[in-house]
Amino acid sequence: MFADYFLLSLKSIRHRKLRSWLTVIGIVIGVAAIISLITLSRSLEGTIEEQFESFGANRILISAKGFQGPGTLSQGLTSDDVETIEKISGFEYVIPGIFRSSEVNFKGQTSFTLVGGIPSEYYEEFYTDTGVDIEDGRNVKEGEKYVALIGSRVASEMFDKEVHVGDKIEMGHQEYRVVGILEELGNAQDDNQISIPLDAARELFDEEDAVDLIIAQVKVTDEIPQLQEKIEKELEQERDDTNFQVVTAAQILEQIGQVLGIMQIVLVGIAAISLLVGAIGIMNSMYTSVLERTKEIGIMKAIGARNKDILILFIIESGMIGLVGGTLGVLIGAGLAYAVGPLSQNAGFTIHITLEPLVLLFGLVFAFVVGIIAGILPAWQASRLKPIDALRYE
């Protein structure tokens, strides 16, 4: 019985190809937008989570209030704050850092980029814990001063000529020998960064005591909340102010997740509008189909078709239109999402696109359900037609 319904619905759709395809397009656009936006937002969230995991979930970051990350100046933290935190037990190491923008010269060409400085004795541990490998050369060694570890883009794209290990770059009238080139990380800020020993950074930026960021590596992950509370308490007591912020990687990730979640809801809501337009298109197409096939409905009823048969026939037809549109929309949406991967890499931040089967299935089911809902009213109207009135319809 169901096969008969299906074949009759398929025959009707094929009979009015142009109108059917125009109706399908509305569903395709809506589903493609929803699938691509959900995939991109979830892939972006996953990429950020990967980066934070590589950065280290067992780290506590201390900065002055208003510090939004490397490249933004902060006021308030000093070497005294570093010493205060070092006195607290439970840390593998406590690293002070300075991050500022600087002019960089190489073979007569000038550029500006972010320059970060941490103590030379911590370079090996820091990059081992972050999981960042050195593609060429070596790491900074303890006791070295005028040396630099550069990002992949500094080496290959920042200047007309490539920077190699052993070359010298100039910052603040001081030459720095490049000892290593980091692997490509996939985001412009890190790949364009230059790292030098903290002593050299203090000299470069004329900062004898200031600290932009303090990174505290926790020995036991479960102790992070207690240690975070201890840092806040000790710093407030020693400084006699609260002009600082103590956050964990998990907290930052949670904040980013909330922002991305809101953004995802807004974007999907906008995409759903186009799907609503598609549903209205299906309803309009089905109403037109009912009018065109009034006599056919009358004949079907005259030879024994029940109201239920007519209702099911039209609902299956509208559901098929939704399913076809959903299938094409899922394919196009997945293709659009995948296309963003290489584009994001060119823009300086690589998004690792991941297609989730549940998201694709949701797109198909959602389109099918929308198609059925849009066809219920026209189908009900068709099923209520009286055979005599239908046969007399001109």
Distance of CA 205 to the CA centre of its chain: 34
Residue environment code for 307-332, b if the CB has 16+ CB neighbours within 10 A, otherwise e: eebbbbbbbbbbbbbbbbbbbbbbbb
Cα distances (angstroms) measured from residue 261 to each of 37, 44, 151 = 12, 11, 31
pLDDT band at 9 (very low <50, low <70, confident <90, very high): low
pLDDT band at 73 (very low <50, low <70, confident <90, very high): very low
Predicted pLDDT at 74: 45
- The string of pLDDT tens digits covering residues 244-261 is 889 887 777 777 778 777
Predicted pLDDT at 247: 87
Local structure of residue 240 (DSSP, 8 states): S
Tokens linked to 94: 């406590």
- With pLDDT > 70 as the criterion, what percentage of the chain qualifies? 83
pTM reported for the whole predicted model: 0.64
Position 103 pLDDT exceeds 90: yes
- Say which amino acid occupies 316: I
Residue 373 host element (H or E): helix 357-383
Residue located via tokens 């300075």: 98
- Say which amino acid occupies 331: L
Decide: residue 160, CB within 10 A, 0-12 exposed, 13-18 middle, 19+ buried.
exposed
Position 146 pLDDT exceeds 60: yes
- The string of pLDDT tens digits covering residues 183-234 is 988 777 788 999 999 999 999 999 888 999 999 999 888 888 899 999 999 9
- The string of pLDDT tens digits covering residues 303-325 is 776 777 777 777 877 888 888 88
- Enumerate residues 6+ apart whose C-beta is below 8 A from 146: 174, 175, 176, 177, 196, 200
Predicted pLDDT at 348: 53
Q: What is the mean pLDDT of the chain?
A: 81
CA angle 79, 60, 351 (to 5 degrees): 120
d(CA 81, CA 93): 14
Q: Are 167 and 89 in contact (CB under 8 A)?
A: no
d(CA 213, CA 235): 14
d(CA 136, CA 125): 18
In this predicted structure, which of 51-60, 77-86, 92-101, 111-120 has the lowest mean pLDDT?
A: 51-60
- The string of pLDDT tens digits covering residues 333-360 is 898 888 887 776 665 566 778 888 888 8
Work out the average pLDDT over 106-125: 93
Q: Where are the domains of the chain?
A: 2-52+254-392, 65-243
Decide: residue 264, CB within 10 A, 0-12 exposed, 13-18 middle, 19+ buried.
middle
Position 291 pLDDT exceeds 70: no
DSSP, collapsed to helix, strand or coil, labels residue 241 as coil
Within 10 angstroms of residue 206's Cβ, the number of other Cβ atoms is: 8
pLDDT band at 99 (very low <50, low <70, confident <90, very high): very high
Predicted pLDDT at 317: 78
Q: Are 375 and 286 in contact (CB under 8 A)?
A: yes
Within 10 angstroms of residue 222's Cβ, the number of other Cβ atoms is: 8
pLDDT band at 4 (very low <50, low <70, confident <90, very high): low
Within 10 angstroms of residue 228's Cβ, the number of other Cβ atoms is: 19
Predicted pLDDT at 14: 60
